[in-house]
Amino acid sequence: MNNTNCVAIYSKKYNTSFDMDDNYYMKMALQEAQVAFEAGEVPVGAVVVCKDRIIARAHNLTETLTDVTAHAEMQAITAASSVLGGKYLNECTLYVTVEPCVMCAGAIGWSQMGKLVYGASDEKRGYTQFAPKALHPKTTVVSGIMAIECGELMKNFFVSKRARLN
């Protein structure tokens, strides 16, 4: 299915179009989410892109590390900062399969991420619900890229988890 026609785009700068590369990088984030799924982690994946190059890849590691802060976004921001040798990521784009939580949005804000692109919205824990101003004011936000695929992976994870419990 071509998701381009049903993409919902929201931007603080009111962008009306999106970069076709957003789909490519979101596919890379989905690959990370699949790794998390297979490891029994909540399937969220992230990649950080700087100057058309992936500089960090990550997925949720909260169960593996027994660390509630080991979200995909946090792991990706830490790795990208290490690669660049600095804490500010204003020339980078973070692609993440699910809308960041408030904690991750805060880290995205503190890192001054240039652009945030996410797939599926998270009505229960997403930052737009609780802290819509958590990001840096200059961060551009694009949502809904491959939202169906990202949402289906999350849905499938929790369906299979519930089935194992019964």
Element (H, E) at 53: strand 53-59
**Annotation marks residue 73 as catalytic:** yes
Catalytic residue among 32, 38, 41, 73: 73
Residue 29 to residue 46: CA distance in whole angstroms: 5
Burial 16-30 (b: 16+ CB within 10 A, else e): eebeeebbebbebbb
Cα separation, 85 vs 79, in Å, equals: 10
Q: Which residues are catalytic?
A: 73
